[in-house]
Amino acid sequence: MIQPALISHSTPHGSITARLYRSLAKSPDITPRCWVKHSNNSREEKIGGLHPHIGEMFQRAASKLLGRGESELSFPLAWHTRMIHKTRDCDILHLQRLRGHSLSMRDIAYSPLPVVCELSDLYPISAICAGQEPCEQLSEGCRNCPKCRIPALSRSIFELKQRLLSSIPKLIFVSKNRWMTKLCEQSPIMQGIEHRQIGIPIDSQSLQPSNRARAKQQIGIHPHTRVIGYACPNLEHTHPRSQQEMQDLLLIQRLLSELKSEGTNRIMLLLIGGRSIPPSMSYASVKVACLQGPQQTAELYNACDILIVPSHQGESECVMLEAMSCALPIIAINEGPVEEHLGGGKRGRCVPKGDLAGLLCACRELLQAPILRQHLGLLGRAYIEQQHSEKYVGELYKQLYSEMLHRN
């Protein structure tokens, strides 16, 4: 029996943590333990040390484990030193994100356990970048990085990370798609460190396609309404990426105007994301995340006719994969891992960023062709079952854990 210590630290990535927890616990040979630490310590102390959304999420996850596994939510004051002590009885240290909020590079260097570190962005293998975009300076060791407050220090930070990570005897990085794998290979830190690719686990058993007209009626939408889903996780934030998402939404508003001018009168935009939508938005909106549970999430995906994904960052990739599990045809901006998931256009439609004409053409094509929508949806569903099902991903991690534990 393998017992990995799964460690995560922040609410936005909590749903991904719950997905991985379920995936690992479904294997009869793995009993995961899990610790979650929210980065906003003042909020935790105010509400008694337990973030309610995380607690609810893991209660749902634990209820599906058939009585196996353990979910421990802990917010110790001396988090860093106590985590090394509390995980000593586990077999593997599995970090969802390598940050100082949960366990830093110095912390895991002191741990005697083999370490699996998921790469959700470039932060562990660059100076300070937390994004998912190509960078020419990464291959040069982040020399004089303009994103650093003191650019001259970026190289020193990079070299410090490189020394710390190279001192960990059993360390494997895991990326979730080929796009991230190619970005990681540009970093000199990756030289000498093993790297694997394991996709995001999706609950394909719960996220299944159903009759779309019936799904629309269940949430109060006329069955003949054309419903366009739109992935927009961060619209209420002041982060620069959120501002870009607002600009993307303006493009979608123009798209709706164009479709209505062509005679598509009964049309609705369903905003899907991990954050609530500002009151100024006049469109139907709903928060879709793991907290709602896969059953309700599937109902909302099945109420859509198509899904538009304007970005690959944040929760957008998870939203796209969950929608594909419900056989929902995808129109996505051709960047990041989108081309990989959509098979170069075989399982969906890819359009250049900001191309209103291309987006309009793709929407018009799919909205007017129900057989094509069904065909693309079934191909997407097959892709999820083959590459991203919880059982499949859990088996890949089981093989990885076993391999690490049997090394001298």
What are residue 330's DSSP bridge partners?
307
Nearest Cα residue to 2 out of 301, 275, 403: 403
Taking only the tens place, the pLDDT of each residue in 157-178 is 888 888 888 888 888 999 999 9
pTM: 0.82
pLDDT of residue 109: 72
Low-confidence ranges of the chain (pLDDT < 50): 11-14, 39-79, 100-102, 235-238, 290-291
Amino acid, single-letter form, for residue 337: P
| Amino acid at site 408 | N
Q: Which residues pair with 314 in a beta bridge?
A: none
Distance CA 406, CA 408 (A): 6
For CA atoms 27, 29, 33, 39, the dihedral sign is negative
Per-residue pLDDT at 244: 63
Closest listed residue to residue 246, CA positions, set 258, 259, 256, 232? 232
Distance CA(19)–CA(136), nearest Å, equals 33
Confidence (pLDDT) at 153: 79
Going by C-alpha positions, the residue among 69, 169, 73 that lies closest to residue 115 is: 169
* Interval 85-138: pLDDT, tens: 777 788 998 888 666 444 566 667 777 889 898 887 888 888 877 766 777 778
List domains and CATH numbers for the chain: 4-201+389-405 (3.40.50), 212-387 (3.40.50.2000)
